[in-house]
Amino acid sequence: MPMKKISTLALCLMLLLTLTACAAIGRYAGQTAGQQAAESANPVPTLAPAESEAPQQTPGETAEATPALPAVSPEELGNAPSNLSAGGAMVRGEDGTLYLAQEDGIYALPEGGSLTKISPDRAASLNFYGGRLYYIAQTYAPDETGYVQRSAAEIASLAPDGSDRQVLAEQKPAGTTTVFDAQTGFFTEWTQRVGYGDLCIAQGYAFFLADNERPGTVRARDSVSGREGESGYASEKSIYRIDLATGERQEIVADVGAAQPHLATDGAKLYYTTSYENPFFAYPFVTFHACGLDGSGDELLLPQDYNPNAACGFTSDRGCMTEIIDGIFPANGALFVEASDSEGDFPNSRLMCVAAGAYQKVADETYYVRTVDAGEGRMVFFTAPGGVQYEQDEEGVITNEYVQDARLVLGDPGEGEGETLLTIERVNRFGDEFSRFDLAVFGSDLYLRTDRALYRVDAGGSEKLADLPTA
């Protein structure tokens, strides 16, 4: 397939068939050659519960080991874990048809065919399993200020042509309610309803997060100031599963957070985070877990008191680690975490790794483009080796942020090296087509979706598959 230019971008798309597996991922980006060499003999090990802390059990659970299950291939999952962690905007059917979640509905693109809208649903967490589409159908509506935000969600299923819509889980409200106490300086209430979240499918079950309407409180202490605070919430979240054959619904892990916990599966285990808002600080308290597909054998992957940012001084019975987590996915014997920042004019995201009782930075992610697992120890990631550049006016006010020679790379993000798939000469943070895009991997095919078009990258080069509708 001949190389093609995308707009005015300079594309260099090469995906070599002879690539061998890269070194294990989990080393810090930006290390010296000596540091990398020293760590090369210590690859990221297999996930295991933290030795310094007994496994944390949810109500009604036993401390039995997680039942061993045979590993499943990506084709036996509803979607690959890293695709779902990146938002689940794309999934591929058994016949090669690609399904896209756009703001105005779900679209189907058959091999060699044209883009067709099959449903008006605004979908998230697209899965294809057993000949059907499964997804979270989201409703958006303006709030009292006119800001349009997610207001409700349900879990639905479709036939591949968009017919036979079925509801697997009834509609639940979504939205955030906060109460800030100006006298104390912290939030006295923080309720964050998601309706449903992180739908994933394996072994004949649909797994997801949902609000359980159980209220509670979070107590936290700022050791720097000595202040203590308490924040209430109207609903926790739990992990549920639905038997796709019978429709039976079970709560399998109770009370995993009132903020935004996350869930993923590799078909053998479930991986999840807890998440509780900090009354003082914009970063919630989190913990990391693994368990069996029935919720049994819960393993705490980091100690309850683990806090790599101890200087911040926040402690809570909900965990001492504070982090904004956007998604998780298991790969290469470790749990990878998509984390982000909230402070600053131009916050960004980063890829982290949970393994061997530690939480480590793997690489920065340029402009929130999520990393996806390509198999065989490789990942596809978007990086700007030269770093972020700024334009300022005469008064020193930043007027633009941009990167030059940004690259989409197949390789090891911990090394920052690999085969360059895409080079973009210059990208402004806002407004350009490639300022932000979604990635998904299906077998040997890499798909890239901007807000304007869909592209496929393979061993022969790149191909623009379709122009996409804009909301």
Domain range annotation of the chain: 45-331
- Which pLDDT value is given to residue 20? 30
Nearest 5°: the CA angle 446, 450, 456 is 25
Mean pLDDT of the 206-220 span: 96
Which pTM was predicted? 0.84
- Which pLDDT value is given to residue 63? 37
Q: pLDDT tens, 341-375?
A: 876 666 678 999 999 889 999 998 888 899 999 99
CA distance 247 to 202: 15
Residue 178: band (very low, low, confident or very high) from pLDDT cuts 50, 70, 90: confident
CA distance 125 to 90: 8
Which is more confidently placed, 64 or 260?
Answer: 260
Nearest 5°: the CA angle 230, 231, 233 is 145
Q: What is the mean pLDDT of the chain?
A: 83
For 68-87, give one letter per residue: b (16+ CB within 10 A) or e: eeeeeebeebbbbbbbbbbb
Least confident of 10-14, 228-232, 284-288, 407-411: 10-14
CA distance 204 to 240: 14
End-to-end CA separation in angstroms for the chain: 32
Least confident of 48-62, 186-200, 305-319, 425-439: 48-62
Answer whether residue 17 shows pLDDT above 60.
no
Which CATH class name applies to 45-331?
A: mainly beta
- Which pLDDT value is given to residue 224? 83
Residue 387: band (very low, low, confident or very high) from pLDDT cuts 50, 70, 90: confident
Which is more confidently placed, 294 or 192?
Answer: 294
- Which pLDDT value is given to residue 191? 86
Compute CA distances 378 → 133, 414, 441, whole Å: 28, 10, 12
- Which pLDDT value is given to residue 4? 32
Mean pLDDT of the 16-21 span: 29
Mean pLDDT of the 89-101 span: 97
Residue 61: band (very low, low, confident or very high) from pLDDT cuts 50, 70, 90: very low
CA distance 455 to 431: 19
Taking the CA atoms of 59, 60, 66 and 71 in sequence, report the sign of the dihedral they define: negative
- Which pLDDT value is given to residue 182? 83
CA distance 465 to 90: 14
CB neighbour class for 391 (10 Å; exposed up to 12, middle 13-18, buried from 19): exposed
Listed residue (242, 178, 238, 189) closest to 216, CA to CA: 189
Which is more confidently placed, 64 or 288?
Answer: 288
The three-state secondary structure class of 38 is helix
Listed residue (378, 366, 462) closest to 405, CA to CA: 366
